[in-house]
Amino acid sequence: MSFSSLFDGGAGSNLTYGGAVSQPAQGGVLSALSLGLQSNMEGGGQGEMRRMGIIGGGGSGDRDSGGRNSKEEDNGSPSGSDNLDGGSGDDQLDLENPRKKKRYHRHTPQQIQELEGLFKECPHPDEKQRLELSRRLNLESRQVKFWFQNRRTQMKTQIERHENSILKQENDKLRAENMQIKEAMRNPMCGNCGGPAMLGEVSLEEQHLRIENARLKDELDRVCSLAGKFLGRPMPPSLGSALPLSSLDLAVGNNGFAAALGMVAPTLSAVPDFVSVGGSSPLGSVVTAPPGRTTMGGVDRSVERSMYLELALVAMDELVKMAQMEEPLWVGGGLEGGKEVLNYDEYLRAFPRCIGEKPVEFVSEATRETGMVIVNSMALVETLMDATRWMDMFPCMIARTTMTDIVSTGVAGTRNGALQLMHAELQVLSPLVPIREVNFLRFCKQHAEGVWAVVDVSVDGIREFPQPGESNMGCRRLPSGCLVQDMPNGYSKVTWVEHAEYNEAMVHRMYRPLLRSGIGLGARRWVATLQRQCECLAILMSSSISSRDHTAITAGGRRSMLKLAQRMTDNFCAGVCASSSHKWNKLNRPESIGEDVRVMTRQSLDDPGEPPGVVLSAATSVWMPLSPQRIFDFLRDERLRSQWDILSNGGPMQEMAHIAKGQDHGNAVSLLRASAVSANQSSMLILQETCTDASGSLVVYAPVDIPAMHLVMNGGDSAYVALLPSGFAIVPDGDGPGQLAAASDKSDGRRAGGGSLLTVAFQILVNSLPSAKLTVESVETVNNLITCTVQKIKVALNLENIV
DNA sequence: TGTCTAATCCCAA
DNA sequence: TTGGGATTAGACA
């Protein structure tokens, strides 16, 4: 006898336990029976099931239940549950059974068994599956639906309970550990003799504990917030939002970091300061590192790490507040076109000067920007924490970067809590703006599920770094970085804060408003670049690449071409900014060179990506009273190229291939060909990359060999394509409405009110012998080239009268 | 008193 | 209209 035969056996066997328990006298018995069955069922096995079937069959003999069921059916009620509720149509039941009693019933073990079976395979059956099951089990379709609904809820609750207990255990463990540490700190013992430890002996261990403790603090914080989430109420201790320096319940005293940086320490703890910078500790004794211990600039390495950690925590706190607070910290935002400005009085009130006082000759630049970026928080965090990927994400902003040191790799294989020391050269694409060289800590913290923050803060005060060269402006970054929050649509909301102090005297007057406005190296540029680059990645990764190809390029060819274009643009930026990634020799300016044209040379020796010989770079920046968009559109239009480009041979150019890198047509890599062919350049094409976003635009190009390009477009290695880039960088002049006009005096030769700064740069091979000496003629040639190009552009844009 | 379970109510997509 | 979360109510340990 099978289940189906039981259930298919007509009215008598068409039973439900609802019918059975509707008998008050038997309800308890049968329910107990059903429970007993359930436990049997758990034993599993066909024999068991059959037994249950038989017992169930006995139940089916209960005429009352059978009868009642048929009555229910006769009743024609659309819902079994209505009947079970003692619906008004069932007078007999109301009379015979107290309403409370008959409402309750449980599905039969068989039914549950079957439901469980399907649930294992598919916890979310569709309408069809549910109907089929309800037919088979003789249940209302809605009963099946409710069952699955409840089962899912139950499953969720079980999982949550399980996770909760794990978190609680973890939490207890951390508390215990913390107590131990606290205890150990109260009674320092010498590891060798067991006697009371001397202060000098404790310091190493103590510093280790501090680091460990900070990590535990973070971890506990995370666990508490998670546990709180599951319990639906906050779990003490909640330390995440507390000011790190004041949350001394866990932090083991004040570690002297503040003193090291000239800050006023908020508290003095029982634990003395071991860091002695330019003086003695509060106890009056200078602790010198014992022999064999690593020291850096006189500061113990573990002390140094502890200082990094403390600084990172303070910086993180500041970043989060800077990103989230509104007025009075930030004023002037919100209105159409109005720019937010940091209220420095309020800033100084709200935050400790975590990296010390601002040098007198420095100016401040603080900007904030929020934008939606098509990337998830984890991916963005990974990119930011990886030096190479970070540079690839912001190619025109970062000239060079290295990871100097890793202080912490993060908790449990994630980037949460990762702390690293980095060096970077940040650039604005103009010879008039020196590179910003910064040594900073980068600290990553997960604040909630899908919410991350990455903060940078300068560390020049802690470790000795080589003094910046002359092509480098003094610069320090106050807590800067971003808050990333996952959005349901796959985008992230990124709030960027960029706060720097730099020596403005090193920057040409023309570029000062740009920098102060935040378009130069501020939050707007970071966010705009991030948006553009992520959009590009999304487009390249999507299968439906929107392409206006005139020629069919294979996917491999497209990749190669983009890689080549990226190398071209990177080299262009390196030439404009004289970054240290290439060894440029600055030329003492001969008389013939214009005042603002910077000329440099370098030797190209073993790089297959460049022609060998002496490479000369010339770059200049000029102001133009036109919008960046207007200039960009003009320069990237291949049909208008003959108006300024000698490579066009006097005629319009033709686009041979086009790879879109963004929604905006201005973001693309294309291949151009001069339609007017001259004898010696017949085998030449022009590779061009253009990009544009709210912070500026770029047109970079390089003549390339046709056979070499052919190879690349078929997916060949682009590393062997020799090229030297030239091009333009266009940025708004920063003097737009509402911008500071601090530097817009007459000496710039510019008028107030929304123009552009155009940088023109060429790299050309002046001699194919790397050892050759530079001649005055070649310098004059390149100077002529650059001044003529600028002049031609001005003429084409009707600006010939502008000096 | 707390847990399990079938069912209901209400809200948002 | 549907599914999910919150809630209810009866049974039971």
CA of A129 to C1' of B13 (A): 23
Query: Is the minimum distance from the CB of A344 to strand B below 7 Å?
Result: no
Q: Write out pLDDT tens, residues A744-787.
A: 333 444 444 578 999 999 998 887 777 777 788 888 888 888 88
Amino acid whose CA is nearest the C1' of C3: A149
Angle formed at CA A116 by CA A112 and CA A119, multiple of 5 degrees: 140
CA of A147 to C1' of B7 (A): 9
CA of A74 to C1' of B4 (A): 32
User: Which 144-163 positions of A have CB less than 7 A from strand C?
Assistant: 145, 149, 152-153, 156
Amino acid whose CA is nearest the C1' of C4: A149
Cis peptide before A188, with omega less than 30 degrees from 0? Answer: no
Q: Which nucleotides of C are covered by protein (CB under 7 A)?
A: 2-7, 9-13
Query: Is the minimum distance from the CB of A654 to strand B below 7 Å?
Result: no
CA of A77 to C1' of B12 (A): 29
Query: Is the minimum distance from the CB of A714 to strand B below 7 Å?
Result: no
* Residue A491 in tokens: 């985008």
Report the distance separating Cα A738 and Cα A645, nearest Å: 36
3 state DSSP class of A167: helix
CA of A149 to C1' of B1 (A): 27
Query: Is the minimum distance from the CB of A142 to strand B below 7 Å?
Result: yes
Amino acid whose CA is nearest the C1' of C2: A127
Report the distance separating Cα A99 and Cα A94, nearest Å: 6
Q: In the complex, which nucleotide's C1' lies nearest to the CA atom of residue A35?
A: C12
| 3-state DSSP of A577-635 | HCCCCCCCEECCCCCCCCCCCEEEEEEECCCCCCCCEEEEEEEEEEEECCCHHHHHHHH
Query: Is the minimum distance from the CB of A31 to strand C below 7 Å?
Result: yes
CA of A139 to C1' of B5 (A): 16
Nearest CA to A510 out of A699, A740, A745, A791 is that of A745
Query: Is the minimum distance from the CB of A106 to strand B below 7 Å?
Result: yes
Q: Where in chain A is the domain with CATH 3.30.530.20?
A: 316-539, 545-796
CA A372 to chain centre: 11
Q: What is the mean pLDDT of each run of 10 residues along chain A (803 residues)?
A: 30 28 29 30 32 30 31 33 34 32 65 80 78 81 82 76 74 82 73 60 67 77 58 40 29 32 30 29 28 42 75 90 88 66 88 81 89 91 93 91 87 84 92 90 90 91 55 79 90 93 88 87 92 86 50 76 91 83 69 67 82 87 90 90 82 83 86 71 81 92 88 86 92 63 40 77 84 79 86 86 62
Amino acid whose CA is nearest the C1' of C10: A104
Query: Is the minimum distance from the CB of A583 to strand C below 7 Å?
Result: no
Query: Is the minimum distance from the CB of A781 to strand B below 7 Å?
Result: no
At A624, give phi and psi (nearest 5°).
Answer: -135, 135
Sign of CA dihedral A728, A572, A706, A543: negative
Taken as a whole, chain A contains a residue count of 803
Query: Is the minimum distance from the CB of A423 to strand B below 7 Å?
Result: no
At A456, give phi and psi (nearest 5°).
Answer: -115, 145
Query: Is the minimum distance from the CB of A145 to strand B below 7 Å?
Result: no
At A272, give phi and psi (nearest 5°).
Answer: -70, 160
Query: Is the minimum distance from the CB of A84 to strand B below 7 Å?
Result: yes
Nearest CA to A351 out of A224, A222, A497 is that of A497
Query: Is the minimum distance from the CB of A633 to strand B below 7 Å?
Result: no
Q: Strand (E) positions, A18-87?
A: none
Q: Write out pLDDT tens, residues A14-25.
A: 222 222 222 332
Nearest CA to A123 out of A150, A89, A87, A161 is that of A150
CA of A106 to C1' of B2 (A): 20
A4 DSSP 8-state letter: H
Side by side, the strands of the sheet bearing A756-767 are A585-586, A598-604, A613-624, A756-767, A726-732, A696-705, A684-693, A668-674, A653-660
CA of A660 to C1' of B13 (A): 35
Burial A639-654 (b: 16+ CB within 10 A, else e): ebbbbbbebbbeebbe
Query: Is the minimum distance from the CB of A71 to strand B below 7 Å?
Result: no
Radius of gyration of chain A from its Cα atoms, rounded to whole angstroms: 37
3 state DSSP class of A668: strand
Q: In the complex, which nucleotide's C1' lies nearest to the CA atom of residue A99?
A: C10
CA of A51 to C1' of B5 (A): 24
CA of A7 to C1' of C7 (A): 34
CA of A487 to C1' of C2 (A): 24
Residue A222, pLDDT score? 66
CA of A14 to C1' of C2 (A): 30
Residue A467, pLDDT score? 54
Query: Is the minimum distance from the CB of A720 to strand C below 7 Å?
Result: no
CA of A589 to C1' of B3 (A): 87
Query: Is the minimum distance from the CB of A146 to strand B below 7 Å?
Result: yes
Percentages (nearest 5) of helix, strand, coil residues in chain A: 45, 20, 35
A62 DSSP 8-state letter: -
Q: In the complex, which nucleotide's C1' lies nearest to the CA atom of residue A161?
A: B3
* Residue A650 in tokens: 């006097």
Q: What is the dihedral of CA A229, A412, A392, A705, to 10 degrees?
A: -130
Q: In the complex, which nucleotide's C1' lies nearest to the CA atom of residue A31?
A: C11
Nearest CA to A454 out of A398, A532, A377 is that of A377
Measure CA of the first residue to CA of the last residue in chain A; give whole Å: 102
CA of A144 to C1' of B5 (A): 13
CA of A158 to C1' of C7 (A): 18
Q: In the complex, which nucleotide's C1' lies nearest to the CA atom of residue A18?
A: B6
User: CATH 3.30.530.20: does it fit domain A545-796?
Assistant: yes
Q: Which nucleotides of B are covered by protein (CB under 7 A)?
A: 5-8
CA of A635 to C1' of C8 (A): 71
Report the distance separating Cα A31 and Cα A754, nearest Å: 83
Which residues lie across from A300 on neighbouring strands?
A295
Residue A479, CA atoms < 13 Å, CB-side half-sphere? 27
Given 3.40.50.1820, 3.30.1370.60, 3.30.530.20, 3.40.47.10, which CATH number is that of A316-539? Answer: 3.30.530.20
Report the distance separating Cα A610 and Cα A604, nearest Å: 7
CA of A231 to C1' of B3 (A): 18
Query: Is the minimum distance from the CB of A104 to strand C below 7 Å?
Result: yes
